[in-house]
Amino acid sequence: MESARSDKPRPPLFRPLDHYRQRTEGYRLLPFRFMRWPAKEVLLVNDVGEFIFLEDQRFKAFVGHRLDLTDPRYLDLKAKHFLLDTESNVPIELLATKYRTKKSFLEGFTKLHLFVVTLRCDHSCHYCQVSRVSTNRSKYDMTKETAKKAVELMFRSPSPALKVEFQGGESLLNFEVIRYVVEYSQELNVREGRNLEYVVATNLVPLTDEILEYLRDHSILLSTSLDGPEALHNSNRPRKGNDSYAITVRNLQRAREVLGHDRVSAVMTTTKLSLGQPREIVDEYVRRKFGSIFLRSISPYGFAVRTGEALRYETSEFLSFYKQALQRIIEVNREGYDFVEVYAQMLLTKMLTPFPSLYVDLQSPSGAGLGAVAYNYDGEVYASDEARMLSEMGDKTFRLGNLHEEGYEEIFGGESLRALAAGSVLETLPGCTDCAFLPYCGADPIFNHRTQGDVIGHRPTSAFCSKNIEIIRHLFGLIREGDPFVKDLFTRWATGVRSEPMTRYKVS
Amino acid sequence: MTSMSIRDSQPTPVAISLGHNQAALEVDLTIYAERAVSRASYKFTDRCYLLLSRSEQPGWLKVTFGAKHEKQDLGPLLGEFCNELLDQQIRDDLSIEAGPIRDLIVAQAFAEGNLLDPQRDDGSYEDDALGIGTLR
């Protein structure tokens, strides 16, 4: 047997050495976008988010095919797939694999299912995006019949993981339907075998011991609102008795004791009043022992527009607030408290890792309808919660269908969603196609429609665009400043991994 | 590729003052692609009004700038526009050179098979074309 093998002429295992030898006749440019940077530098970003800074002169030489093989940045450009100097297909295959990974948020289709179980609410928040109605109008509650249809439609989604988020109004005012959705979905899931997750968005006011025990027994997460210190929170979130802050803090503590500390998160909304208190807001979150904060600007929907609050500050004012708050967050981390800014974290994940963000506003095509869908209390289905808010204002452009009238194919395969998807591919949008930050950014066609009159939008005057560009530029700027603590912090946010001190590897 | 040519001893694109609150540039289309001019113009639409039209001189394109408010000085905008035009021309050259590779990468990313080397997917490990099994 052994001799038979050795007698057989053996083809060469490797290609001739010349095949692997460095070509000297030049290189091809691989696709990338670029942006001028201060101090005569240029930022280059390729389609999979790899980036490199080049001095202006070196950039000119590079795009002019005059960069020498011995240039110290040549191999960096090659390793990061900005140039191709071999006949091998491997770099293209690697880029295709990375591109597929960057777009992996598309796998499984709609994962987040928002159940708007009621529009009733006891708060009268100035910025409320939800067009809330008062607490005693139960005609604004979702019925069990509608909830049943929504659950059944949700399971038509092919995703192996489904996230159910209960929204309002104040969602706990219709706890009976929350309970029904949880139990009916779990009943169906015996056969379906999906990974189900539940989140209740609530102001915590209606929280009872019975509700808490139920949430604990069914592993349900809570998400609440905390806008900052007491005076700011109560001003932003007025209710009868002016005691929103006291109730939130008290019930936050109760919820943590029953559910576990990390089972309750909070979000904040930036109002005009918030703009002058970036440090105080961050410090309030730290004092309440939260691990993160999501610095959100106000949205141009619902009650926020009717009260004029949406118009009360410019994007530039929000950006100034954001940068100050982020600076305070970095300080807090430097002082030894692990604390994350969620929006920066999502962007840094796209900037520093091969992975995408699951946040629908940072996806291309937009996650509206593709990644998330909203079932309104009345059975109407919308591409997102923002689309639902828009309909409350009389604009039903992004209505996908009705649970009682249309099936899965009509709702998710209809013209509304197709148009939304087609109009939200950044790679085809004017202004975005040239932008170096495209791989990190996302499309918000509903915001464009609301603020600029069409889903494509006008980039030079878009608040969404200027906000994202400036935040991404700021994050790059902080990375470029070279503070090792900030670089380590951002890497930790992006990857979830804390780099260990080198001493760990020393042999004693 | 992006060098400026000279017309009437002036750097091109050639700036023309049209009087009150208006100015124009003429762009040599043997140097700049129309796509580059169009994309550069789009980026300025928040700061002034723009109109693209054919120049009286064949092979040139005219970009007319209109002020958005009475006291707006269009001078600095013209300079910035020229720089933007250079960058847009680089982008246009890049898209010509790397565009087909970009299309291939995206197609391969979402393809079921191997677009780059179809024969590889048709092969069978049993054929052992490189004779790796003989090493055992």
Residue A29 contacts B, CB cutoff 8 Å: yes
Given an 8 Å threshold on Cβ–Cβ distance, is B116 in contact with A461? no
Residue A103 contacts B, CB cutoff 8 Å: yes
The type of residue at A297 is S
| pLDDT tens-digit series, residues A125-167 | 877 755 556 655 678 999 999 999 999 999 999 999 999 999 9
Give every CB contact of residue A195 below 8 A, 6+ residues apart in sequence.
A160, A161, A162
Given an 8 Å threshold on Cβ–Cβ distance, is A95 in contact with B105? yes
Q: For A47, name the nearest residue in chain B, comparing CA atoms only.
A: B102
Nearest CA of chain B to the CA of A31: how many Å? 5
Q: Is the pLDDT of residue A4 over 50?
A: no
pLDDT value for B121: 62
Separation between Cα atoms, residue A435 and residue A441, nearest integer Å: 10
Q: Encoding tokens for residue B87?
A: 């960058």
Nearest CA of chain A to the CA of B55: how many Å? 25
Q: Which residue has the tokens 């400043």?
A: A481
Mean pLDDT of the residues in chain A: 90
Q: Which residue has the tokens 């499984």?
A: A108
Residues of A in contact with B45 (CB under 8 A): 458, 460-461
Given an 8 Å threshold on Cβ–Cβ distance, is B93 in contact with A36? no
Separation between Cα atoms, residue A41 and residue A476, nearest integer Å: 13
Q: Which of A404, A353, A318, A263 is nearest to A127 (CA)?
A: A318
| Bond prior to A169 in cis (omega within 30° of 0) | yes
Nearest CA of chain B to the CA of A429: how many Å? 12
Question: For residue B7, what pLDDT band results from cuts at 50, 70 and 90?
Answer: very low
Given an 8 Å threshold on Cβ–Cβ distance, is B90 in contact with A63? yes
Mind listing the domains of chain B with CATH numbers?
Answer: 14-117 (3.30.70.60)
Given an 8 Å threshold on Cβ–Cβ distance, is B47 in contact with A10? no
Given an 8 Å threshold on Cβ–Cβ distance, is A103 in contact with B109? yes
- Compute the residue count for chain A: 508
Given an 8 Å threshold on Cβ–Cβ distance, is A47 in contact with B130? no
Residues of A in contact with B91 (CB under 8 A): 33-34, 434
Percent with pLDDT over 70 in chain A: 90
Q: What is the Cα A142 distance to its own chain's centre?
A: 27
Nearest CA of chain A to the CA of B135: how many Å? 8
Nearest CA of chain B to the CA of A272: how many Å? 25
| pLDDT tens-digit series, residues A228-244 | 999 999 998 988 888 99
What is the interface size between A and B, counted as CB pairs within 8 Å? 82
3-state SS of A98-166? HHHHHCHHHCCCCCEEEEECECECCECCCCCCCCCECCCCHHHECCHHHHHHHHHHHCCCCCCEEEEEE
Q: β-strand A112-116 against A83-84: which pairing, if any?
A: unpaired
Q: Which of A377, A278, A363, A367 is nearest to A328 (CA)?
A: A278
Residue A461 contacts B, CB cutoff 8 Å: yes
Given an 8 Å threshold on Cβ–Cβ distance, is B116 in contact with A431? no
Question: For residue A84, what pLDDT band results from cuts at 50, 70 and 90?
Answer: very high
| pLDDT tens-digit series, residues B57-110 | 999 999 999 999 988 989 899 999 999 999 999 999 999 999 999 999 999 999
Separation between Cα atoms, residue A195 and residue B95, nearest integer Å: 43
Nearest CA of chain A to the CA of B9: how many Å? 26
Q: Which of A8, A63, A103 to mutate to test the interface with B (most CBs of B within 10 A)?
A: A63
The b-or-e profile of A365-394 (16+ CB within 10 A means b, else e) is bbbbbbbbbbbbbbbbbbbbbbbbbbbbee
Distances (CA, A) of A397 to A34, A104, A167, A415, B12: 35, 28, 21, 11, 47
Residues of A in contact with B131 (CB under 8 A): 8, 10-11, 13
Q: Contact at 8 Å (CB) between A251 and A204?
A: yes
- pTM score, whole prediction: 0.88
Separation between Cα atoms, residue A250 and residue A254, nearest integer Å: 7
Q: Is the pLDDT of residue A202 over 70?
A: yes
Strand partners, A119: none
Residues of A in contact with B108 (CB under 8 A): 92-93, 96
Q: Is the pLDDT of residue B5 over 60?
A: no
Given an 8 Å threshold on Cβ–Cβ distance, is B130 in contact with A13? yes
Given an 8 Å threshold on Cβ–Cβ distance, is A460 in contact with B44? yes
* Sheet arrangement for strand A112-116: A295-296, A264-269, A221-225, A195-201, A161-167, A112-116, A372-375, A380-382, A399-402
pLDDT value for A158: 96
Of B46, B91, B117, the CB nearest to A460: B46
Q: Is the pLDDT of residue A296 over 80?
A: yes
Q: Contact at 8 Å (CB) between B99 and A31?
A: yes
Nearest CA of chain A to the CA of B130: how many Å? 6
Of A96, A103, A461, the CB nearest to B108: A96
Residues of A in contact with B97 (CB under 8 A): 28-29
Let me know the angle formed at the C-alpha of B51 by B47 and B53, rounded to the nearest 5 degrees.
Answer: 155
Of A63, A100, A460, the CB nearest to B94: A63
pLDDT value for A506: 33
Residues of B in contact with A29 (CB under 8 A): 94, 97-98
Q: For A90, name the nearest residue in chain B, comparing CA atoms only.
A: B116
Strand partners, A42: A36, A54
Strand extents, DSSP E, A235-294: 264-269, 292-293
Q: Contact at 8 Å (CB) between A154 and A164?
A: yes
- The dihedrals phi and psi of A199, each to the nearest 5 degrees, come to -135, 135
Q: Contact at 8 Å (CB) between A233 and A269?
A: no
Given an 8 Å threshold on Cβ–Cβ distance, is A30 in contact with B98? yes
What's the mean pLDDT in A15-31?
74
Separation between Cα atoms, residue A457 and residue A423, nearest integer Å: 9
Per-position DSSP letters for A160-223, written without gaps between them: SEEEEEEESSSGGGGHHHHHHHHHHHHHHHHHH--EEEEEEE--STT--HHHHHHHHHTT-EEE
Mean pLDDT of the residues in chain B: 83
Q: Is the pLDDT of residue A465 over 70?
A: yes
Q: Which of A434, A444, A501 is nearest to A467 (CA)?
A: A444
| Bond prior to A365 in cis (omega within 30° of 0) | yes
Q: Is the pLDDT of residue B19 over 70?
A: yes
Residue A97 contacts B, CB cutoff 8 Å: yes
What's the mean pLDDT in B10-15?
58
ipTM confidence:
0.84
